[in-house]
Amino acid sequence: MNSPNNFSEEENANKSLFLNEEQSDILFKVEGKIIPAHKSILTKKSRYFANLFKSGMVESRQQIIEMNDFEEQIFKGFALFLPPF
């Protein structure tokens, strides 16, 4: 059942974890700002990130991934509200 803010419990849990630096296992650098995230959440919700993290590419081995094609607020919204694939 959705909570009063129309997000499921899982979405609320993901949202509370999203910017939690202490528990994150990956960082994104967007417009010079560091945005903490979780590989498991991104992998579950995005084929792009699932493929990126298992690709063996340089980004898959880095602790900080630079996202040069995004504005900070757009990246946060994109990563936070990705629908599951």
Residue keyed to tokens 């509370």: 16
**Sequence-ordered list of residues with C-beta below 8 angstroms from that of 40, at least 6 positions apart, any chain:** 25
**pLDDT tens per residue across all 85 residues of the chain:** 444 456 577 666 656 666 677 778 889 999 999 988 888 888 888 888 899 899 988 888 888 999 888 899 888 887 777 665 5
pTM of the predicted model as reported, rounded to 2 decimal places: 0.71
Domain residue limits, the chain: 11-80
What pLDDT does 82 receive? 67
What pLDDT does 2 receive? 44
Structure tokens at 26: 């990956």
Supply φ then ψ for residue 76, to 5 degrees.
Answer: -60, -45
Distance CA 84, CA 63 (A): 24
Write the CA distances from 53 to 2, 73, 77, integer angstroms.
30, 23, 20
CATH superfamily of domain region 11-80: Potassium Channel Kv1.1; Chain A (3.30.710.10)
